[in-house]
Chains A and B, each alone.
Chain A
Amino acid sequence: QVQLVQSGAELKKPGASVKVSCSVSGYRLIELPMHWVRQAPGTGLEWMGGFDAEKGETIYAQKFQGRVTLTEDTSTDTAHMELSSLRSEDTAMYYCVTENLNAWGQGTLVTVSS
């Protein structure tokens, strides 16, 4: 059974960076690309980016271009999402999700506050 386990909650100051990890079990990361979605408190879901297997490249939402970096370590089956230049509006729950949509991590709460 596919399971995605994310790293713990983070508290960051404005301007800092955060790196969230997503550890995969039940399959190999190389078999199924990972995407990242975030949800600010009380709001809807927002796609940040993911790996396009057809093009062999990572695609980022325009809103996050230049601030987000998605990486995958296939030796440890762990995906990472790094978001830089954090601001208060980045306070949200961050989720990793498999490209076939049916497996989500439990979420990582990132709080940005001075």
Chain B
Amino acid sequence: DIQMTQSPSTLSASVGDRVTITCRASQSISSWLAWYQQKPGKAPKLLIYKASSLESGVPSRFSGSGSGTDFTLTISSLQPDDFATYYCQQYNSYSWTFGQGTKVEIK
């Protein structure tokens, strides 16, 4: 299985900060990478698919980049609603795997 390594595991930030989360795949996944936001007690919400495509209805402050093995999720200006846990996921092969998550906390 392809291993996905996310960093950092926890991130403390303030409203208005620029936030970057990275995800590394153990082998090339081309651009078959998604990013999700999850809040407590809720299902994950798709933010980005195919590494850099913004899902409909998701604010433009979220952006994704990368290809191959290295990927980045950026929040350009952190808003109160953005404090949550973020996951990356590869879907290059039919054995989807997820990163371990990054919890974005209030500083």
* A contact set with B: CB distance below 8 Å: 35, 37, 44-47, 50, 52, 59, 61-62, 95, 100-102, 104-107
Contact = CB atoms under 8 A, between A and B. Distances in A.
Interface in B83-107: 87, 89, 91, 94-101
B82 interface: no
Given A101-B49, A102-B55, A47 B101 contact: no
Given A101-B49, A101-B91, A46 B98 contact: yes
Interface residues of B, number: 19
A102 to B, nearest CB: 5
Nearest to A104: B43
Interface of B: 1, 34, 43-46, 49, 55, 87, 89, 91, 94-101
A9 to B, nearest CB: 13
A99 to B, nearest CB: 8
Contact of B95 (A45, A47, A106): A47
A50 to B, nearest CB: 7
Contact of A104 (B44, B49, B87, B94): B44
Given A45-B44, A52-B94, A95-B43, 17 more contacts: A44-B100, A44-B101, A45-B87, A45-B98, A47-B98, A50-B94, A59-B95, A62-B1, A62-B95, A101-B34, A101-B46, A101-B49, A104-B43, A104-B44, A104-B45, A106-B43, A107-B43
